[in-house]
Each structure stands twice: as structure tokens, then as C-alpha cells.
Structure 1
Amino acid sequence: MRKFLSLIPFLCLILSFSSSYAQPSGIKIKQTEDTFEGTKTVLMDGNKVKVEGLAESAVIKGALSVLKGGLQISQIKTELNLEQFTKSNGSKELSVIVSIEIKDDASFYIDNGESLILLVDGKRMGLTTEGEFNVSRSARRNSVTNARYDLTEAQLKSILEAKSVQFRIMNGGFMEKKEETRDKEGRYFEGGFTEKNKEAWKYFYDTYVNS
């Protein structure tokens, strides 16, 4: 009995260590290897974030429907996932993958340039993309768009160490050249990281980036 009791602190230490590095619930990690190109990709999936905004914009107004005498905005699913790409020479590229899915006949467009903006403890961090990929848009069906944003390891560490992380995703579909660049009201999604979101990013960093 005494031997068993003496093992309890050791067992608790093992359990706490393993739980701190356990893969967060709802998060999937996909690893692929291209033997022809000598590259490897580690991609996170399932890091859903809550967004607000665009309620008064044309992209959403077109998707409003009357339900029980009121207006119901189309369902929107947004994810901010991490990706690590290893080149054949061993160098690595870290990215944020923004994925937006809107049910109904609304669409979201992401243009080239700076369209993902973070506020990390109040400090602005603008991230840029080369544009959308794996896009699917059709009337009266789901609209899906994805964009990849370059991220440095130093930027990721500052995000993980921050007490507050907010984000804004710009909708390129409204950016008409005739409009003033300062006129951005209602042209974006906004949200903030929860502890669960930060936990997912920290798991990815500890397991794949800083390993």
C-alpha cells in the first residue's frame, strides 16, 4: 500500500505532462509527404472561430431569409488553422490558413495583399496572402474559400504569449476601385481567439514547429 501511495505523485506528474500535450478536442492534424518533390506538409483542421460583422453588407443581405417572422443570417463557418510546409532543402514555411464556408447564396472573396489583420495585445499585425485557393461558389449552394497567409515563428510565439488576440478578415468582394480606401465599415469579419483557439495553436507549435 505504501509503495502504491509513493507512486501517486509520479503518476500525477506523468498524467499532467501527457494532458498538456494532448491533441485538443475537435482538432485534426493531416500530414502529407510528396516523395517526388521531397516536401512535407503538416496541416491543422477544425480550429473554428466565432465571427461577427457583415450583417448590414450586401453579401449577407442577399442571403437573408424570413424565418418565423424575422430575419435569419446565413450560417457561416470560419476556421483559422496553421500549416507547416517543409521544402526539399529542409527549410520550413509557416502559414495561417483561413477557411470560410457560407451556407446559402452568399459569398466571401479574399483578394491578394493584406486581408488578415490581428490585434495582439492591442498591437497591429497585418498578414498578406497571394489570393484564394480551393474555391467553390455556386448559386443556392455553399460558398467555400480558403487563403494562405505567411507567418513567422516569432509572430506565432507573440500570439501564443499574448493575453488578447483579435482578428479581422477583409472581404475583397466589396473593394471597388472607385471607393475610398478608408470606407471599410461592414466589409469584414471580426472575432477574437478563445482559450481553445490558443490551445490548438500552442499544441501545433509545441508538437510540430518547436519540436
Structure 2
Amino acid sequence: MKTSRFIGTGLLIFTLALGCGEKMEISQPSEIEAEKVQDIGAPLAKMLLDSLGFKLKSTLENEGPIAAINVCKLEALDITDRISANSENSVAIKRTTFKFRNPDNAPNGFEKKALEHFQAAAIEGGELPAFHIQKVTKGGETFFYFYKPMKAKNLCLVCHGDPANFDATLKASLQENYPADLATGYKDGDFRGLVSVKIKNVD
């Protein structure tokens, strides 16, 4: 039996108001639903992290940090969309964090709840939960979110670490491409954000 991570607040249901009176509920999935969501979401999240990590590592080693910025700006979303499109299930995948660099990676209301869940665990210390699952209901429609945490690695710190360590060329490139950049100041092992996999159907 797999170990599942659900809503970590002691409450089974959250209600989010999304404008125009529309509401959605976050509730705890059944054990069977959670296993199905994990079976779909975990391989996709791993595929994204492995694919993007390989591309960034190769680019940093062969072309340097400026080229790596272009990978994140021009290729990361394409890699993500390609993995989503090739899935046998109806899914939408993204990376998200409170400290985003690309506005396309800003969290929605459900993802904010998940980020808060992992942040609370990070503050407490110890290992982060391996994953987190939400069941979302909107009217008669039900869908799920699978989340996998990302930690900052030494590779990431080249462009996401202490800005005092960035050279002038890197600083200028970040300012040009991401003038509202929030994604710096990380140390090795810091909680970085989440891979979010939205799954529309697990039947």
C-alpha cells in the first residue's frame, strides 16, 4: 500500500471563492482515488524534473548561465507542454512557487494552499512530504492535483542563489528578461516550489 499525503491542516474541506460568486471545494480524496492520482502524477512530475534538469545541466556546462536563462525562458514551458500532451490522461503540468521568475509559473488558489502545506513542513524541519494530493469539486465536475516538491540544488544556485555572487552580465540578463524576478536568494536544500499536475479524470 502506498503512503499518501492529503490535506495537512486537520480540515477535510476548503472552499475558495474565485470571483463572480463561483466557488470550488478542496477535499480529501479516497484512498483509491489517491492511489490513482499518484500513479498518474508521480511519473509525469519525475519526467519533467529529469528532462528539465538534464537540459539545464548540459546547457550550464557547455554554454554558461546566460544560455541557461534562455532555456528556462524559451524551452521550459515547451518541455512541460510536450509532456502534458503526450500523457494518456487529460493533464496540465506546471512548475509553481511563491518566488517565481516567470509570471506563467505564478500559483493559482489551489496551488497556493499546497505551497503553504509544504512551507509549513519546511519550517518545522526534517524531510518534506514526498507528495501532496488535492481533490477539487466545482459544481458537478471533480478533478485532482498531484504535487511534488522541488528543492534548490547547487546547479540551481548559479542563477537562483545569492545575487551578490552573480556577475554583472548575469545580473543584466536577469534584469532584462525578468525585471520583476522573485526567484533568488536560495541556498542548497531550500524548498523551491512544486511540480503541479492537474488531472481531470482518474476513472
TM-score (structure 1 length as normaliser)? 0.28
Higher helix share: 2
Structure with the greater relative contact order (CA < 8 A, sep ≥ 6): 1 or 2?
2
TM-score (structure 2 length as normaliser)? 0.29
| Larger Cα-atom Rg | 1
Higher strand share: 1
